[in-house]
A and B are shown apart, each in its own frame.
Chain A
């Protein structure tokens, strides 16, 4: 159990986010000035990571709610030319490639398929990358590149059944309306193996929490691959192409790959011998309330609250420590919203002595997977799922 002081936590404000650089650049006075905030269309004030293309992080306090409000859900685009104008009279979802019948589905056509709905965690592959040790290049997210949303749409399987997948198909590629600023920049196209794409829960979604998708979260339709990282959840979905060989363009290879071993990790600074495309989410849990750095009152009851989730499996239990990991107690889990949703956990605590306390939480999923105490490393800053700590003062 060797956990180190995280000096970088000094930069984490109550918002829980890794503070972005000030307007003048450089991390020198992050703590003093706080993160840059911005309000983009259909969004509330979010932490500004980058403006072009937009990357906006959710302040941690929104995670007190079971479902993340649409205007607070994080935003992450890869390429500067993002869709800002969609004419639904013209928009079509095009299905092509190694199939019997090419399709061009309007939104009305799409809604003709059987509707499905479930709650699923959406998490960026690089969520928490700003907390990697040692640091790596890329989007320097705190923990806010995630959210819990009820998605509504139709089964990809039903669409593909209508198109008729021919024998010899290997991968299915997904392309959205976003495009590269220059021809040489690789377009964002992701793929799934055919068997994965045809699983019953893979969704083409057109609603988030009962409302049409916001433009910045992929209007009018996006792919949902529940339990897997959101790199596959292609926004503004426009083209689905069935392929007869493995798709290996840039954003599948070399981008978005993890070391091919049990932990998805290597020694800091090392290069992996073999990689695979990133896939299922690791098991994670967070203390949401109280927030890091909060002051509590001696003798006053506190209802410690947090969240936990795992890729493709329910959470079995979450244990909590208020003494920096010396002793642990069982939390009470909130209502079950299905294996793809996060679950809330609660732990009543009455601090009886003044002082500084470190609260930690550790989740275990239904098949026994849990969280390491140490931070595991890979070159791209993916999969982080160490046991988290929150420091509070009792007065």
Chain B
């Protein structure tokens, strides 16, 4: 657990906070490193780990959304590797 860090407000009219640096580990699997590298570009990895188990089709939809809708800079080969990893480590097996 990380303590809430100090903030200041007035007299100089500035309010600031420091966010804690909390890491989430991904489950073991081939190409886990690729998932970590690309997914972490925009968000923490708990976005992945909090999901229920998805089918390969569902993970494919999610990864494609990250690329097409959110502009993730991921090549087709890397996308395939990431989908395989997620479907394996966080999938229903279907």
Contacts and interface: CB of A to CB of B under 8 A. Distances in A.
B50 A24 contact: no
Given A20-B50, A219-B15, A52 B43 contact: yes
B71 A185 contact: yes
Chain B interface, DSSP helix/strand/loop, else mixed? loop
Interface stretch (A81-89, A114-122, A341-349, A355-363): A81-89
Contacts of B18: 41, 84
B38 to A, nearest CB: 12
B41 A54 contact: no
Interface in B43-62: 43-54, 58, 62
Chain A interface, DSSP helix/strand/loop, else mixed? loop
B69 interface: yes
Contact of A215 (B3, B17, B23, B58): B17
Interface in B38-90: 41-54, 58, 62, 69-71, 73, 89-90
A80 B16 CA distance: 16
Chain A contact-residue range equals 35 or more
B19 A50 contact: no
Interface string A124-162: 000000000001010110000000000000000000000
Interface string B8-20: 0110011111111
B4 interface: yes
Contacts of A183: 71
A135 B92 CA distance: 12
Given A54-B19, A85-B16, A24 B25 contact: yes
A245 B48 CA distance: 37
Contact of A50 (B17, B41, B43, B73): B43
Contact of B49 (A25, A186, A250): A25
Interface in A39-89: 39-43, 45, 48-54, 80, 82, 84-89
A86 B4 contact: no
Contacts of A296: none
B81 to A, nearest CB: 18
A25 B7 contact: no
Contact of A85 (B2, B15, B62, B73): B15
Interface string A10-49: 0000000000110111110000000011111111010011
Contact of A25 (B16, B17, B24, B42): B24
A284 B28 CA distance: 40
Contacts of B26: 25
A77 to B, nearest CB: 10
B30 interface: no
25 contacts: A25-B45, A27-B53, A37-B1, A38-B2, A39-B2, A39-B3, A39-B4, A40-B2, A41-B19, A48-B22, A50-B43, A50-B50, A51-B23, A51-B24, A54-B19, A84-B16, A85-B16, A86-B14, A86-B16, A137-B58, A137-B62, A181-B41, A181-B42, A186-B69, A215-B17
Interface of B: 1-7, 9-10, 13-27, 41-54, 58, 62, 69-71, 73, 89-90
The 5 nearest A-B residue pairs measured at CB: A184-B71, A21-B49, A25-B49, A41-B17, A51-B22
